[in-house]
Amino acid sequence: MSARRILVTSALPYANGPIHIGHLVEYLQTDIWVRFQKLRGHECRYFCADDTHGTAIMIRAREESRREEDLIAEMQAGHEKDFAEFDIVFDNYGSTHSEENRALCGEIWQSIREAGLVKEADVEQLYDVEASTFLADRFVRGTCPKCKATDQPGDNCSVCGHHYSPAELVYPKSALSGTTPEVRSAGHLFIELEQLHEFLETWTQSGDHLQPEIANYLKGHFLGEPLRDWDISRPAPYFGFEIPDSPGNYWYVWFDAPIGYVASTRQWCDRTGENFDDWWKSSDTEIHHFIGKDITYFHTLFWPGMLKTAGYSLPTKVHIHGFLTVGGEKMSKSKGTFVNARTYLNHLDPNYLRYFYASKLSAKVDDIDLSLEEFVAKVNTDLVGKFVNLASRSAKFVGSTGLSAKYPEDDGLFAHAAQVGDEIANAYEACDTSRAMRLIMALADRANPYIEENKPWALRKEPAEAQRLQDVCTVALNLFRQLAIYLAPVLPQLAAQTGELLQEPITSWDQAKTPLTGTPVAKFQHMLRRVEEKDLHAMIEESKAELPADGDESATGASTSTSDNDGDDALAAEPLAEECTFDDFTKVDLRVARVVEAEHVPEAHKLLKLKLSLGGGVTKQVFAGIKAAYEPEQLVGRLVVCVANLAPREMRFGVSEGMVIASGPGGEEVFLLSPDDGAVPGQRVH
RNA sequence: GGUCCGGUAGCUCAGUUGGUUAGAGCAGGGGACUCAUAAUCCCUUGGUCGGGGGUUCGAGUCCCUCCCGGACUACCA
């Protein structure tokens, strides 16, 4: 097997929010694949970067009254920290807002110009006069021209599903300023992709560049008709790179984002002295992109077209994965299943998620589901019960003697596992890690009965059987080590721990072919704690408590957008009450209050006991039926709204002197109301 | 609406170019063991492979049709 040179990328995370467990599907899938290739002895490099340009960043920086550069630097630091703690290791992690990227954009742009692919045309767009910016579709809301539903997004109606352009909205409003935008015309630059139609047809439909379902999708969706021009410029103001030969216009973020792959490589080459052309302009180098299905067309049509035109290597393969669902549903902030990487790390070991995703991922584009029960079962049964247990039940018997000098008879177990290694490698190579994990666990299922049959715990009581004891444990630990090698791409920490236990670092896949003999064995230490369901629930609770800062959690990577959930269920379940007068309303004295104490009531099934402060030393004791939805710890310190003049009521556990205001049907579906920033305890709600 | 992908034991999934009584893990039931992180081992209960029709000596596997679920629908990031 000769060493391959392999360049790998993951989609660039957008610098507008933190990494969450949906993104991690992609970064972990890629990291596992890269680690596998490196373990196999190939020259494999993993490049990524933050995606930093676009209107969303500009708007957010403006809202936060700071420079875009400061915003994206902070985001990038957070991303890199999260990746590092999940053991996702890049050979270079750059930024699209770098000089390397600016230079490469200019160079590639020049090629596209020279190839005659650029044309200019006017585009009519809504313009927010007050914010002095053009508005992307999602920054406009208004009344649907078809069904007249109010407050609908700028591109399609969430009620009737009708598609339209923002300008067609009745009463359009800018989401930025709330003002009514006006239609303005501006010159945009377009790439005439149709000129590359034949090339793209051939490239997408031949070879193994794409998964079959993706090639088929492109053929049916895009390639069956003329490809539309791609609008790749945006007029000022825009956070991005100004187009050198078109002052006042900026490259659209999707033009410079994929070039970020190349720019990150360039940075690495400059740092290490590698030859750039060997990586991006050599037919000997494989290029693999890992992306989510939402950005398929950018990577399978635009991007190959750009590379081809600019004289760069084309992707060897674009690996496309599906989204993450949790408990069979889209990730949801209100349900606490929209879990940030940081929140996960506060409660759980990254190894769990690495293994869990590995056991679910295949080469298909299907979504994968994280069920909490399955997560616990897989981690505890597979990783701890089957795998780590092999070492844990045998290592200490040979702590003093080390491994036998000669590998003992083992009924062919080692040889079999060595042989299956090829099949496991094929599965990894094909990104079918779920198959790889199944094969590995099947090997663990052969190893545990071996120990069962040979009873080392009985042998150790017979001095005459000392050699047998050592032999049995030598077999067990070698079988364990084989599995650790096969799992090393997924569980690098476990591989390192195994290396320490057996005094021989795991550095190569081929180490699984030869048993270790005659070497010392270190004192066994716990390798991985079992996961407990309560840790998962604590994580979910913390996610719930993290209030959504804004409605935007999309990103260039494995984004999973949450859609507005404005159905009629809630209203149907609880119809509007009879009309009341203003005087009726003012009888109820609603006040902002701070939760200063919160505790469980031991015998109560639904209640939490709260102490609310109305400021100035005035407090009220309230029993609230929110136990299923909130943990006491997450309530202390937060502001709520309470009914302050409700008649006190004697309850079984004490007197309740008010109510906290919440919505929802009850049980776990209870949502406390919070005032916006600035409110202070004691203020009346009018 | 259109296009695509799925529907195999309670759950998550394997089922190679159609070929013997449809498999695994988990969960459930019974037993064993005690070295191990209430781990492990043995035995075991579950399926007319979404419905119907067809091709074939033979179909979970091919064709048609219907039902159900999901995804996507570029000039949004």
Confidence bin at A608 (pLDDT 50/70/90): confident
The reply to whether A477 falls in a domain is: yes
Nearest nucleotide by C1' from A461 CA? B35
| A393 domain residue, yes or no | yes
DSSP A255-273: HHHHHHHHHHHHHHHHHHT
| pLDDT at position A293 over 90 | no
Report the distance separating Cα A657 and Cα A399, nearest Å. Answer: 65
CA of A224 to C1' of B2 (A): 14
Note the strand B nucleotides within 7 A of protein beta carbons. 3-5, 11-14, 24-27, 34-42, 70-77
> With a 7 Å cutoff on the CB, does A295 touch strand B?
yes
Is the pLDDT at A568 greater than 80, yes or no?
no
Indicate whether A375 and A475 sit together in one domain.
yes
Cβ neighbour number for residue A132 with a 10 Å cutoff:
10
| pLDDT over 90 percentage in chain A | 54
Residue A521's pLDDT band (cuts 50, 70, 90): very high
The residue that leads in pLDDT, A686 or A519, is A519
Bridge partners of A623, per DSSP, are A609
Inter-CA distances, A161 with A136, A155, A272, A293, A532, Å: 19, 10, 52, 22, 43
Q: Domain check: are A355 and A459 in the same one? A: yes
> In the structure, what pLDDT confidence band is assigned to residue A303 with cuts at 50, 70 and 90?
very high
Residue A450 contacts residue A364 (beta carbons within 8 Å):
no
Domain ends where: A513, A536, A570?
A513
Structural domain contains residue A138: yes
Which CATH number fits the domain that encloses residue A144?
2.170.220.10
Return the structure tokens found at A542: 């913390």
What kind and span of H or E run contains A198? helix A197-205
Instruction: Classify residue A249: in a domain, yes or no.
Output: yes
Is A369 exposed, middle or buried (CB count within 10 Å of its CB: 0-12, 13-18, 19+)?
Answer: middle
SS3 category, A669: strand
Query: What is the pTM (predicted TM-score) of this model?
Result: 0.81
Of residues A194 and A152, more confidently modeled: A194
Q: Flag whether pLDDT at A564 surpasses 50.
A: no
User: Reduced to 3 states, what is the DSSP secondary structure of residue A327?
Assistant: coil
pLDDT at A656: 76
Q: Single out the residue of A656, A562, A557 nearest to residue A607, CA to CA.
A: A656
For residues A663 and A380, give the distance between their C-alpha atoms in angstroms, rounded to a whole number.
37
Quick check: A554 pLDDT over 50? no
Please give the Cα distance from A342 to A531 (Å, whole number). 18
DSSP, collapsed to helix, strand or coil, labels residue A92 as strand
* A365 CA: nearest nucleotide by C1': B5
pLDDT, residue A550, reads 38
Please report the pLDDT score of residue A329 as a whole number: 80
- Token readout for A659 is 């109510």
DSSP string for A100-161: HHHHHHHHHHHHHHHTT-EEEEEEEEEEETTTTEE--GGGEEEE-TTT--SSEESSB-TTT-
Mean pLDDT: which of A56-65, A67-76, A590-599 is highest? A67-76
Strand B: which of residues 69-128 in chain A lie with Cβ below 7 A?
123
- Domain edge (last residue) among A461, A495, A513: A513
Main-chain phi, psi angles of A75, to 5 degrees? -60, -45
- What pLDDT, on the 0 to 100 scale, is given for residue A686? 80
| A24 and A103 both lie in a single domain | yes
Element (H, E) at A448: helix A433-454
DSSP code at position A659: E
With CA of A444 and C1' of each nucleotide, the nearest comes out as B40
Query: For the sheet containing A140-143, what is the strand order?
Result: A152-153, A140-143, A170-174
The answer to whether strand B lies under 7 Å from the CB of residue A155 is yes
Alpha-carbon torsion A80, A435, A419, A425, what sign? Answer: negative
As a whole number, mean pLDDT of residues A234-259 equals 93
Examine the domain organization and report whether A429 and A376 are in the same domain: yes
Q: Is residue A315 part of a domain?
A: yes
Whether residues A49 and A102 fall in one domain:
yes
A24 is written with which tokens?
């991690």
Lowest mean pLDDT of A18-32, A240-254, A563-577, name the range.
Answer: A563-577
Q: Which of A 375-394 have CB under 7 A of nucleic chain B?
A: 377, 380-382, 384-386, 388-389, 392-394
Closest nucleotide (CA of A382 to C1')?
B25
Higher pLDDT, A444 or A601: A444
In this structure, are A133 and A93 located in the same domain?
no
pLDDT at A254 over 60: yes
Lowest mean pLDDT among A30-44, A209-223, A313-327, A536-550: A536-550
pLDDT at A565 exceeding the cut of 60: no
Note whether residue A183 is domain-resident: yes
Are A636 and A619 found together in one domain? yes
* C1'-nearest nucleotide to the CA of A139: B76
Q: How many domains does chain A have?
A: 4
Confidence of residue A667 (pLDDT cuts 50, 70, 90): low
* Nearest nucleic acid nucleotide to A231, CA to C1' distance: B75
**A457 located within any domain:** yes
Answer whether any strand B atom is within 7 A of the Cβ of A216: yes
Q: Which DSSP category does A463 fall into? A: G
User: How does residue A66 score in pLDDT terms, banded at 50, 70 and 90?
Assistant: very high
Predicted confidence band of residue A159 (pLDDT cuts 50, 70, 90): low
| CATH number of the domain residue A306 falls in | 3.40.50.620
pLDDT score recorded for residue A175: 77
Average pLDDT over residues A570-579: 60
Burial class (CB in 10 A: 0-12, 13-18, 19+), A316: middle
Residues A259 and A276 in one domain: yes
Query: pLDDT class for A634, splitting at 50, 70, 90?
Result: confident
The dihedral sign for the CA sequence A476, A481, A486, A489: positive
- pLDDT for the residue A502: 96
Does residue A275 lie in a domain region?
yes
Instruction: Among A87-91, A121-125, A451-455, A628-632, name the one with the lowest average pLDDT.
Output: A628-632
Q: Is the pLDDT of residue A391 over 90?
A: yes
Residue ending a domain, choose from A513, A544, A573: A513
Mean pLDDT of A448-457: 93
**CA distance to A227, A284, A421, per residue, from A417 (Å):** 51, 33, 6
Whether residue A330 is predicted with pLDDT greater than 90 in this model: the reply is no
- What pLDDT band is residue A127 in, cutting at 50, 70 and 90? confident
> Is residue A573's pLDDT more than 70?
no
| pLDDT at position A605 | 60
Task: For the beta carbon of residue A90, count every other beta carbon within 10 angstroms.
Answer: 23
Q: Is the CB of A497 under 7 A from strand B?
A: no
Residue type, A326: V
pLDDT range class, residue A128, cuts 50, 70, 90:
confident
Separation between the CA of A31 and the C1’ of B23 (whole angstroms): 32
Query: In which domain, by residue range, is A421 found?
Result: 349-513
Which of residues 237-256 of A have CB within 7 Å of strand B?
252-254
Residues A183 and A199 reside in one and the same domain: no
Q: CATH number for the domain including A499?
A: 1.10.730.10
- Per cent of chain A over pLDDT 70 is 90
A294 touches strand B (CB under 7 A): yes
Residue A571's pLDDT band (cuts 50, 70, 90): low
Say if residue A551's pLDDT is above 50.
no
Instruction: Convert the pLDDT of each residue in A528-543 to its tens digit.
Output: 999 998 899 999 989 8
Question: Could you tell me the distance in Å between the CA of residue A61 and the C1' of nucleotide B33?
Answer: 64
Closest protein CA to C1' of nucleotide B11, residue: A374
The answer to whether residues A401 and A458 touch, using CB atoms and an 8 Å cutoff, is: no
A276 touches strand B (CB under 7 A): no
Average pLDDT for chain A: 86
A530 touches strand B (CB under 7 A): yes
Query: Do A176 and A258 share a structural domain?
Result: no
pLDDT of residue A572: 53
| pLDDT at residue A619, as a whole number | 83
- Each residue's pLDDT tens digit, A176-234: 778 888 888 889 999 999 999 999 988 988 888 888 888 888 887 788 888 888 889 99
Q: Which nucleotide does the CA of A524 lie closest to, via C1'?
A: B36
Residues A651 and A591 in one domain: yes
* Side chain identity at residue A353, one-letter code: L
**Which of A560, A538, A532 has its CA nearest to residue A326?**
A560
Read off the pLDDT band of A553 (50, 70, 90).
Answer: very low
What pLDDT, on a 0 to 100 scale, did the predictor assign at position A1?
Answer: 59
Let me know how long chain A is: 686
A70 against A564, higher pLDDT? A70
pLDDT band (50, 70, 90) for residue A88: very high
Q: What is the CATH number of the domain that holds A598?
A: 2.40.50.140
Residues A459 and A498 in one domain: yes
